[in-house]
Structures are given as C-alpha cells and as structure tokens.
Amino acid sequence: AASAQPMRSAALRGRAASLTGNPFLAEGCLHHIEDALILIEGGRIAAFGPYADTIGRVPEGVPVTEYANALILPGLIDTHVHYPQLQMIASYGEQLLAWLDKYTFPAELEFADQAHAERVAKLFFREILGAGTTTAAVYCTVHPGSVEAFFAESERFNTRMVAGKVLMDRNAPAALLDTAQRGYDESRALIARWHGRGRQLYAVTPRFAPSCTQAQLDAAGALLAEHDGLFLQTHLYETTDEVAWVMDLFPDRASYLDVYARAGLVGPRSVFGHAIHVGEDDLCTCHQAGAALAHCPTSNGFLGSGLFRLFDAQDPRRPVRVGLGTDVGAGTTLSLLKTLGDAYKVAALQGTKLDALRAFWLATLGGAEALRLDDRIGRIAPGYEADLCVLDLAATPLLGFRTGTCRDIEELLFVLMILGDHRTVRATWVAGECVYDNRRTGDPLRY
C-alpha cells in the first residue's frame, strides 16, 4: 500500500499552473510557469519554480518525471459527491424526491453488505483518481460499514478525504433509518476511529432536513460542538418541492437554512450542496458564518433542479465560499473537467461568463477554501501537500489540434474545461506518489 512506503522524494517537470487567490475578488491570481520543476519531499512540495532555476535543488538520485505537451495542476477537489450512488448514476426520468425513492434509497440499502461497500469504494477511487480528483467531500450511507470501507480505501492511496455516515431517521425505507441516538453513537465511534487519522477527516452528514427529525439535527449539532475540526455536510435549497416540504415540516423556522442554523449546523466547516433557490438573507448568513456552498451543475441539470447563481454567491459585498461538486449519482460524471464545462453552460444560461481562471479556481483552491484546507491543498506552492493532476494537451486528436492553436494559458485552460474529461488526465499524484498513470501498462487504475 502507498501509505506503508516511506515518503520518497520526487520531481516533476512540465508546464504548470496554480491559482494563488480568488479571481472573483482579485486580479492576477494565476501562477503559470511554461517549463516548471516541482520538487517533492516527504509528500509535500519543497520547491516550485522555472526548471532552469530549480533543477539545482533536486538531490542526487531523485528521478525527474518529464511531462511533455502537458499541463500540471493542483489535484482537483470535489466538494459534494455520494460514492454509494455509482450504482444508479444515469437513472431515467425523475426529479429529486421521486428519484430518491425510486433509485437512490434502493441502491443505498445494498450497503448493508460490507463486501458490496468495499467493491464500490474501490471503483470510486479508481474513477476519481483517473479523473484527476485528489480530495472530495463524500457522503457514505447510513451504515457505519460504508464509512469504514471508504476510509480504508482512501488510506491505501493516502488521499485527503472528508466523509461521513449519513444520518437519516425518517421519510425513507425502515432499513435505511437510524435514530437520533444511534446516529449520534455510530458517528462518535467513526470520528474516534477516523477523524485526523493520516489524511482522513470526518464530516457529520445529516442527509437533508426532510430525512432528519429535530432530535437528529440537534444530535448532529452536539457532535460538532464536542469535537474540533469536524465538517458538516448536507443538502440545501435543491428543488422547489423540497423547499416547500421543509417549510411544512419545520413551520417555525424562518427559512430552510434556519432549520440547520437553529441546530448549530451553520459554521465555518459547513458545506451545503446545491443552494439553487437560496435567498439574499441566507446568503448573508452563510457569508457571516463562513459556510460554503457546493455548485453541482451536472446534477442540477440532470434532475432539472435549476441554475445555481454563482456570480450572486460570489458578490464581493458578501462573498460566500463556493466549491465545485459532481454530486454523483444525480450528477452525471465524476470528472471535474466535464463538470466545469457544465458550469460554463449554467453561467451562460444566466447571461454570465465563467472564465477559465474562475473555473479552475473553483475546481482547486476555491474547493480547498470551501473545505478550509487551503493552507494544505489546492495550490502548487512550497509547503503544500503534493497532490497534482497532469493533463495531456493531446489526449485526443481533436484536443491536440485545438490546444495547438491556443495563444495563452487562459485560452488553453478554457479549451481544457470545455473539452476535457477522463481521457485528458495523463497522471495523478497523491502526497508525492504517482497513483495513476494512463501510460503505465498494468496500472490497476488504468482505463
């Protein structure tokens, strides 16, 4: 296993780009080096600079991996995804609430079987690492074993992951429900076992307000109050039917977000999926609390949920943290490149333009900021954890033809976010180890 090996040194050579700040709020946020060297020591980036200036720092015996006609980026960050839903991705014809009943809950019921959970966790890591994703905020199922299977697989690759057991104590099949007390107890045990073990981090994960009683939301709040550094992830304002149901279930609350706020669930490590139908007051609350939203464009399009107002969320008068989410299985891909292509179209449908710098910020440093991990991941910079993805500028004949005409890095990034997918990913590095290489014959993760 990768984690059992000593942390070796490594060096990568190639064109590289990394965001240094939020381009929604400031200019000049791109660090781009045409011929860069990235030196890695002990799983972290030790140096990042022009090859000619940096090669002298590479210790003798450390191999330099050269990536020609490629672009090295920070590993991509998926701030909202359900690994148990790989089995029912691409399920036809329903909107959120019927889709949950008809497809999602039956698929999640199968995670009572531990062998099934382990198989799907393995497939999930194969898929995300092959897509250049190195960190994700992940929903497991109500079964503690689904979390065990997930973190055990993550530990094999030494990926930095945020995940948790789903809490749900009403409005789903009985075999998929816990209780407020049982959900609390099981979460506590998982937190003790996994939170802060290696690179693994725990997220308290109430599914969404309609599947949780007030007692369960309060228990989630108690967990957050009892432990430092825990995350909170749930769904918020995804569809109009869902919002109406929430206001029916919690008639005393001022808004959907208020349901969570009154249980102590709105804080700096909270990540709310979707937030399509969110209003100004709740955006202000998120800004003040430092809570984050996950923009899930392929899911929002697939379920017909609506258009997330990215530029509204990023209003410099009260910017709200935003990351990018695939939201598989409502989302239609685990590729964050493809997800950026959809994010561009969602912006276009609102008469706005999602440029490549803002887009790649969302998929890297913005995601890291949303998860409060921006001091460790999301950038290529000294001290940062060495999670990288390498894109092949000629992965397909068309991509090679098109990127050959790009005049600058912004045009190149834009072409990659519109045309890129799994095939575009040449290699993925996690904590200084190459965990995926699409030319390495016999690579267990190879396509």
**Which residues neighbour 187 within 8 Å (Cβ) at sequence distance 6 or greater?**
164, 165, 167, 202, 204, 220, 223
Alpha helices (H) along 320-355: 336-349
Burial of 116 from C-beta contacts in 10 A (0-12 / 13-18 / 19+) = middle
79 sits near ligand GUN (criterion: CB under 6 A): no
330 sits near ligand GUN (criterion: CB under 6 A): yes
| Contact predicate 206/266, CB 8 Å | no
- Is the Cβ of residue 30 or residue 100 nearer to ligand GUN in the bound state? 100
Interface size with Zn ion, residues (CB under 5 A) = 2
Burial of 115 from C-beta contacts in 10 A (0-12 / 13-18 / 19+) = exposed
104 sits near ligand GUN (criterion: CB under 6 A): yes
Distance CA 308, CA 286 (A): 15
Interface size with ligand GUN, residues (CB under 6 A) = 11
DSSP 278-298: --HHHHHHHHHHT-EEEE-HH
CB 207 to ligand GUN: min, Å: 5
Residue 47's beta-bridge partner residues? 39
Burial of 423 from C-beta contacts in 10 A (0-12 / 13-18 / 19+) = middle
Q: Which residues 344-383 are close enough to bind Zn ion by CB under 5 A? A: none
CB 179 to ligand GUN: min, Å: 19
- Is the Cβ of residue 30 or residue 100 nearer to Zn ion in the bound state? 100
208 sits near ligand GUN (criterion: CB under 6 A): yes
Binding mask 308-347 for Zn ion (x = CB under 5 A): -------------------x--------------------
Question: Binds 184, which of ligand GUN, Zn ion, none (CB < 5 to 8 A, cut-off by type)?
Answer: none
Question: Binds 208, which of Zn ion, ligand GUN, none (CB < 5 to 8 A, cut-off by type)?
Answer: ligand GUN
Longest dimension (CA), the chain: 68
Of all residues in the shown chain, the one whose CB is closest to ligand GUN is: 330
Binding mask 186-225 for Zn ion (x = CB under 5 A): ----------------------------------------
- Is the Cβ of residue 74 or residue 323 nearer to ligand GUN in the bound state? 323
Sign of CA dihedral 105, 275, 25, 353: positive
Residue 236's beta-bridge partner residues? 274
CB 237 to ligand GUN: min, Å: 11
H/E run at residue 18: strand 10-19
- Is the Cβ of residue 160 or residue 235 nearer to ligand GUN in the bound state? 235
Burial of 310 from C-beta contacts in 10 A (0-12 / 13-18 / 19+) = buried
| Contact predicate 17/413, CB 8 Å | yes
- Is the Cβ of residue 71 or residue 172 nearer to ligand GUN in the bound state? 172
Q: Which residues 259-278 are close enough to bind Zn ion by CB under 5 A? A: 273
Distance CA 244, CA 173 (A): 22
- Is the Cβ of residue 307 or residue 406 nearer to Zn ion in the bound state? 307
3-state secondary structure of 304: coil
User: How many CA within 13 A on the CB side of residue 234?
Assistant: 28
Residue 314: count of CB within 10 angstroms of its CB: 20
CB 300 to Zn ion: min, Å: 10
Distance CA 100, CA 245 (A): 14
- Is the Cβ of residue 108 or residue 433 nearer to ligand GUN in the bound state? 108
CB 232 to ligand GUN: min, Å: 15
If phi > 0 it is left, if psi is from -120 to 50 it is alpha, else beta; for residue 264 that is: left
Candidates 41, 327, 385, 387: give the one binding ligand GUN (CB under 6 A): 327
372 sits near ligand GUN (criterion: CB under 6 A): no
| Contact predicate 307/346, CB 8 Å | yes
370 sits near ligand GUN (criterion: CB under 6 A): no
Distance CA 169, CA 90 (A): 27
Candidates 78, 238, 282, 392: give the one binding ligand GUN (CB under 6 A): 238
Binding mask 37-76 for ligand GUN (x = CB under 6 A): ----------------------------------------
Binding mask 394-413 for Zn ion (x = CB under 5 A): --------------------
- Is the Cβ of residue 37 or residue 166 nearer to ligand GUN in the bound state? 166
Question: Binds 41, which of ligand GUN, Zn ion, none (CB < 5 to 8 A, cut-off by type)?
Answer: none
User: Binding segment for ligand GUN among 96-104, 142-150, 151-159, 358-366 (CB under 6 A)?
Assistant: 96-104
Q: Which residues 289-308 are close enough to bind ligand GUN by CB under 6 A? A: 299
**Which residues neighbour 248 within 8 Å (Cβ) at sequence distance 6 or greater?**
none
Residue 163's beta-bridge partner residues? 138, 202
- Binding-site ranges for Zn ion (CB under 5 A): 273, 327
- Binding-site ranges for ligand GUN (CB under 6 A): 82, 96, 100, 104, 207-208, 235, 238, 299, 327, 330
